[in-house]
Amino acid sequence: MIPELGHFALILALILSALQTVFGLVGPTRDDPRWLGVVRPAVAGQFVLVSTSIGALVYAFVNFDFSIMYVAANSNSALPTFYRVTALWGAHEGSLLLWAWILSAWTLAVAIFSRHLPQSIASRVMGVLGFVSFGFLLFTLMTSNPFERLPLEQIPADGRDLNPVLQDPALAIHPPLLYMGYVGFAVAFAFACAAMLEGKLDQVWARWTRPWTTFAWGFLSIGIALGSWWAYYELGWGGYWFWDPVENASFMPWLVGTALIHSLAATEKRGLFKSWTLLLAILAFSLSLLGTFLVRSGVLTSVHSFAADPTRGMFILGFLVIVVGGALSLYAWRAPLLKSPSGFDWTARESFLLYNNILLVSAAIMVFIGTMAPLIADAIGAAPVSVGAPFFDLMFPLFMLPLCVLVSIGIHSAWKRGKISASKRRILVGLAVATGLGLLFVFAAYGGPSKWLTPIGTVVGIWIIVSSLFDPVDRLRRKLTLPRAIVGMTIAHMGLGVGLIAISTVESYTVERDVALAPGETVALGRYAYRFDGITEIEGPNYAGVRAEVTVLRDGRPIEVLHPEKRRYWVQNSVQTEAGIASRWNMDLFAALGDDLGAGRWSFRAQLRPLLDYIWLAAGMMALGGGLAATDRRYRSPAPAATQETSAPLTPEAA
Amino acid sequence: MMARHKRMVMVAAIVVGVSLAAFLGTKAYQGNVMFFFDPSQIAAGEAPPDKRFRLGGMVEKGSVHKTAGTLDIDFVVTDFCHTVPVSYSGILPDLFREGQGVVAHGRLQNGKFVADEILAKHDEKYMPPEVAKSMKDKPTAAGNAEACAKLGKA
């Protein structure tokens, strides 16, 4: 009964989303307050209905309703309650429902916080969001209904269990955060479409759009970092980024989204790059859609499942074509009307934001080519190829290192006619300090560089941090106000610096060995050594396995004990490696347990990864910075400011 | 005139940058792209002798030999028409099993495929797409010479 209620609620939500689309998009052209008045209640109603639907599915999971096909396929009576709830997004159908629910929540937030906006714009934004929601709900209901019942004779006594790699706390929250980011870009997309429909795009528009975009970007940053963290300790073999198609699918919208938040800054402050900003907003959301679908439809993991389920594949293609094609047609029609004032110095802040955008978008194109090449080769019948990590490892720094250097310089730039030469002293002082500290770090802590990347990455990373601090410190010294936007920007940029230092260090100084050890034997990793002490049998709620005890020694003295495990989950009869990790302030000590090799020996992978955790700290700093910047006071002031930018900063250090 | 001059310089810089990126990208792509071969193609001499590539097929039943107490392992990859002996030293992925699909990265040395990486997959039922494709037109069990002959590769 409850699942049918959930299904019914989903159908009602679909109808409401259609109403929201029609009234939201047509209402403004008719300028009828009764039409416009329908939109917000439809949004609220849709949120309640999709929430009901998701609640019904959670209820089915928690109460072991194995007559539901989706529950039977992704749950089990031995599965702990926490994972029975998170199993909701453990596979395709439930993930789509989660997507639709998060979209309805974002739309509700837009409905609440858009009251000070002109009604026509707010309606159009919600109308576009309604259309996206309509597409997703229709897709869910027609091809991927999570409430589908099994015929009576096929109802299993017990479920097939959640995929063991998904039974993990980080993965439980990774998809919702990632979707918060993906779906958040839908809001930026909707604002872009609304501006094009309105035929008007001014600096006030950019001010409305900015906080939404920055929030979405922050969520996406954390979502990607969590996915990377999970892959590091759960997939079992160390490493934090594999340039796997699924990872790239989330990274492309992040790169374009990063370009978008910077381009929006120029649009808000100076009324520049208007059509470019629109294009990026369309692109960021298109890539989010593409990412969701590529991952969820299985096109990427298996090229052939596209054809295996033609309805799903065709629907996906159709929806992508309508959304992306529609938005781009609208863009082609409206963008030429937008005029951006030209005229700024090539070392002014506008130019640096332009360089930022060129490099970020180029990097996104590179990732896109590398990710799609195998798919395209397959589609045109060429020899099967794979583009592995070496391609990306070689190409990515080509875009990112120049970008990071330009960040360190561009931070000091001023708008309009401001020449960067005015900040020459700051740039040189920053570079000198960074070079000194960076080389000291590389030589004192690690005894010299091991790759060309090490000293460059470290110096540039420190340079970004030092450069970011000039302006806030200067403001504090002169007892000026320090707006949240500047604090946020500073923290996010410092996060970039921290991330660059951490990645350079991890890539250069990771020590890794695969070894066969018998109890009592030791493997040396530089100053450190791993001693295998023994193995014990363990039993969990839905698995059995073995746990090794590994003592880590430094200079012969024990400092940590690691417990890598090998679990066999009963229901799916699959083996899962749980790494043993000790995170210290300066490095991660990592051990993964392999197989019983016979003769009393077990295989181990032992790793030392210096500064690894700082990569995730960096993502956290970016997200925190984004959150602070997005909640700056000027976005909260209800009175929309004049179109003309009156508070153009005059000093080079002002943002 | 000055503004125009500057714009020209900027456009030229972008063009140079893009060309450079495209050139390096193509280079990197050519150097790092890995092609896929199945045992029949290797038997026909299609696989490059000096380049890394991906070998895919099924792990032949009863072919896995481990040297006790070490990380060394030998096994045979088959597409039920031809076989390739593989040697590997390292930790095997959780889902490596006899009779299952496998993809290995490595190169040929004296008729033996020396693997430096055996691919791990998350899913029990998952078949690497390339292997699935290669196996589609092959017989489903060993010793079916007729089906192999039909392929013209036997």
Three-point CA angle A83, A88, A93, nearest 5°: 150
Do B68 and A599 count as a contact with CB atoms less than 8 A apart?
yes
Residues of chain A positioned with their CB less than 8 A from the CB of B127: 302
* Residue among A6, A216, A197, A224 at smallest CA distance from A120: A197
What's the confidence (pLDDT) of residue A652?
A: 39
| Cα nearest neighbour of A166 on chain B | B122
Give the ipTM of the model, two decimals please.
0.79
Do B70 and A601 count as a contact with CB atoms less than 8 A apart?
yes
| Cα nearest neighbour of A303 on chain B | B129
Do B32 and A388 count as a contact with CB atoms less than 8 A apart?
yes
Residues of chain B positioned with their CB less than 8 A from the CB of A597: 66, 68-71
Task: List residues of chain B with CB under 8 Å from any CB of chain A.
Answer: 3, 6, 10, 14, 17-18, 21, 24-25, 28-29, 31-36, 54, 66, 68-71, 89-92, 94-95, 120, 122-124, 126-127, 129-130, 132-133
What's the confidence (pLDDT) of residue A361?
A: 94
Would you say residue A642 has pLDDT above 70? no
Residues of chain A positioned with their CB less than 8 A from the CB of B89: 514
What's the confidence (pLDDT) of residue A244?
A: 82
What's the number of domains chain B is made of?
2
Would you say residue A306 has pLDDT above 50? no
* Residue among A359, A193, A386 at smallest CA distance from A263: A359
Would you say residue A51 has pLDDT above 70? yes
What's the confidence (pLDDT) of residue B152?
A: 53
Q: What is the mean pLDDT of residues A208-213?
A: 95
Nearest CB to A387; choose among B29, B66, B129:
B29
Would you say residue B46 has pLDDT above 90? no
Backbone angles phi, psi at A598, to 5 degrees: 85, 170
- Of A197-211, A279-293, B1-15, the range with the lowest mean pLDDT is B1-15
What's the confidence (pLDDT) of residue A326?
A: 93
- pLDDT bucket at B141, cuts 50 / 70 / 90: low
Q: How far is B58 from chain A (nearest CA, A)?
A: 17
- Of A379-393, A495-509, A616-630, the range with the lowest mean pLDDT is A379-393
The encoded tokens of residue B33 equal 């792209």
Do A387 and B122 count as a contact with CB atoms less than 8 A apart?
no
What are the tens digits of pLDDT across the range A454-498? 899 999 999 999 999 999 999 999 999 899 999 999 999 999 999
Percent of chain B predicted with pLDDT > 70? 79
Do A366 and B129 count as a contact with CB atoms less than 8 A apart?
no
Highest mean pLDDT among A233-237, A242-246, A361-365: A361-365
- pLDDT bucket at A310, cuts 50 / 70 / 90: low
Would you say residue A75 has pLDDT above 70? yes
| Cα nearest neighbour of B65 on chain A | A597
Would you say residue A638 has pLDDT above 60? no
Would you say residue A505 has pLDDT above 90? yes
Same domain assignment for residues B72 and B13 = no
Residues of chain B positioned with their CB less than 8 A from the CB of A372: none
Do A304 and B123 count as a contact with CB atoms less than 8 A apart?
no
Helix axes A274-297 and A169-198, enclosed angle (nearest 10)? 140
Do A373 and B33 count as a contact with CB atoms less than 8 A apart?
yes
Domain range holding B47? 36-150
Report yes or no: A222 and A180 within 8 Å, Cβ to Cβ: no
Alpha helix positions (H), B33-153: 39-43, 129-136, 145-150
Q: What is the mean pLDDT of residues B67-79?
A: 89
What's the confidence (pLDDT) of residue A641?
A: 44
Would you say residue A381 has pLDDT above 80? no
Same domain assignment for residues B78 and B18 = no
What's the confidence (pLDDT) of residue B122?
A: 47
Same domain assignment for residues B23 and B76 = no
For an interface test with B, give the residue of A161, A294, A392, A395 to mutate (most B CBs within 10 A).
A395
Same domain assignment for residues B3 and B46 = no
The encoded tokens of residue A159 equal 């479920």
The encoded tokens of residue A275 equal 């059509």
Residues whose CB falls within 8 Å of the CB of residue A167, separated by 6 or more in sequence, listed in order = A79, A83, A569
Helix axes A389-410 and B2-32, enclosed angle (nearest 10)? 150
Give the integer Cα–Cα distance in Å for A631 and A485: 8
Do B71 and A514 count as a contact with CB atoms less than 8 A apart?
yes
Same domain assignment for residues B146 and B110 = yes
Residues of chain A positioned with their CB less than 8 A from the CB of B130: 384
Report yes or no: A89 and A95 within 8 Å, Cβ to Cβ: yes
Q: Which residues of A306-321 are buried (b: 16+ CB within 10 A; e: fewer)?
A: beebeebbebbeebee
What's the confidence (pLDDT) of residue B99?
A: 82
Q: How far is A141 from chain B (nearest CA, A)?
A: 26
Q: DSSP for A117-136?
A: S-HHHHHHHHHHHHHHHHHH
What's the confidence (pLDDT) of residue A320?
A: 85
- pLDDT bucket at A645, cuts 50 / 70 / 90: very low
| Cα nearest neighbour of A304 on chain B | B129
Residues of chain A positioned with their CB less than 8 A from the CB of B35: 383-385
Would you say residue A651 has pLDDT above 80? no
Same domain assignment for residues B14 and B89 = no
For an interface test with A, give the residue of B32, B89, B118, B124 to mutate (most A CBs within 10 A).
B32
For an interface test with A, give the residue of B71, B74, B125 to mutate (most A CBs within 10 A).
B71
Q: How far is CA A224 from CA A52, A170, A460, A500, in A?
A: 28, 11, 23, 16
Mean pLDDT of chain A: 89
Q: Residue B110 maps to which CATH number? A: 2.40.50.140
Q: How far is A567 from chain B (nearest CA, A)?
A: 10
Residues of chain B positioned with their CB less than 8 A from the CB of A516: 69-71
Residues of chain B positioned with their CB less than 8 A from the CB of A302: 126-127, 129, 132
Do A398 and B21 count as a contact with CB atoms less than 8 A apart?
yes
What's the confidence (pLDDT) of residue A299?
A: 58
Same domain assignment for residues B24 and B69 = no
Do A516 and B71 count as a contact with CB atoms less than 8 A apart?
yes
Residues of chain B positioned with their CB less than 8 A from the CB of A390: 28, 31-32
Report yes or no: A501 and A458 within 8 Å, Cβ to Cβ: yes
Q: If you search the block for the tokens 């696989």, which residue do you land on?
A: B47
| Cα nearest neighbour of A395 on chain B | B25
Exposed, middle or buried by CB within 10 Å (0-12, 13-18, 19+), for A57? buried
Q: How far is B111 from chain A (nearest CA, A)?
A: 23
Same domain assignment for residues B24 and B98 = no
What's the confidence (pLDDT) of residue B139?
A: 67
Do B91 and A518 count as a contact with CB atoms less than 8 A apart?
no
Do A302 and B129 count as a contact with CB atoms less than 8 A apart?
yes
Q: How far is A395 from chain B (nearest CA, A)?
A: 7
Do A387 and B32 count as a contact with CB atoms less than 8 A apart?
yes
Give the integer Cα–Cα distance in Å for A55 and A572: 27
Same domain assignment for residues B25 and B77 = no
What are the tens digits of pLDDT across the range B96-120? 888 888 888 899 998 899 998 887 5
Nearest CB to A387; choose among B33, B70, B91:
B33
Do A369 and B25 count as a contact with CB atoms less than 8 A apart?
yes
Do B91 and A599 count as a contact with CB atoms less than 8 A apart?
no
- pLDDT bucket at A153, cuts 50 / 70 / 90: confident
Same domain assignment for residues B7 and B43 = no
pTM: 0.90
- Of A215-229, A238-252, A498-512, B135-149, the range with the lowest mean pLDDT is B135-149
Nearest CB to A304; choose among B28, B120, B132:
B132
Percent of chain A predicted with pLDDT > 70? 94
Do A599 and B90 count as a contact with CB atoms less than 8 A apart?
no
Q: In this complex, how many residue pairs, one in chain A and one in chain B, have their CB atoms less than 8 Å apart?
A: 110
Q: How far is B60 from chain A (nearest CA, A)?
A: 20
- pLDDT bucket at B153, cuts 50 / 70 / 90: very low
Residues whose CB falls within 8 Å of the CB of residue A460, separated by 6 or more in sequence, listed in order = A401, A404, A405, A408, A434, A438, A497, A500
Report yes or no: A403 and A352 within 8 Å, Cβ to Cβ: no
Residues of chain A positioned with their CB less than 8 A from the CB of B94: 236, 574-577
Same domain assignment for residues B27 and B98 = no
What's the confidence (pLDDT) of residue A169?
A: 86
Same domain assignment for residues B16 and B65 = no
